[in-house]
Structure 1
């Protein structure tokens, strides 16, 4: 009975450490960046299950960086598809991001939120009135 209690306690400690480490990574590496989108794509796993969005950018100094755009539980971000649809190639955005770029692990900083800046067109998604042709 005592070994079972120790096993459960050790599991709880490891789970807490993993959660705390993930939270420290996501909140400890947050940054605000401004970029212009140069390309965007969707990568799908070979099994067809999971997917992630990549966004290629150029910053205000001319540097390039690729970001990922995936959901993040600890950030309460569950709108990656909406953000990807909002981003337009050629558009400039202020973005909240977190993470590190680690090329040999194919790790990218993740986009949490974006706001359009400058002269980007604001697209309105509205349905046409009944009886009128759509756009």
Structure 2
């Protein structure tokens, strides 16, 4: 007779730990509101390889969600000139982080980057992209 190995079923206690961790991670999100000036016909998009990079440790915080901007490879084409606003949600910064950079790591020119953003108590930021 063949012996079948099974995985133990998670207990209620371990499920609560997972839920608590997920809630804590959600509470520690870092939100970056971005503003970028575009001309009619210009395209804009964000890559999943966009990070918050903590200084001086270099630790990267991943992009979790983006609102009002297309994800690579899709482009959002501007129908008129003006300021375009979008919001990026990242993993929470380390408690000891004082400054960080917003870096879009892409294999072509035109990447977004904002350096030396000072940390605040709310972890909600507004940046202007060049």
Structure number having the greater strand percentage: 2
Higher RCO, 1 vs 2 (CA within 8 Å, ≥6 residues apart) = 2
Structure number having the greater helix percentage: 1
Could you say whether these structures have the same fold, taking a TM-score greater than 0.5 normalized by the shorter chain as the test?
no
Could you state the TM-score of these two structures normalised by the residue count of structure 1?
0.29
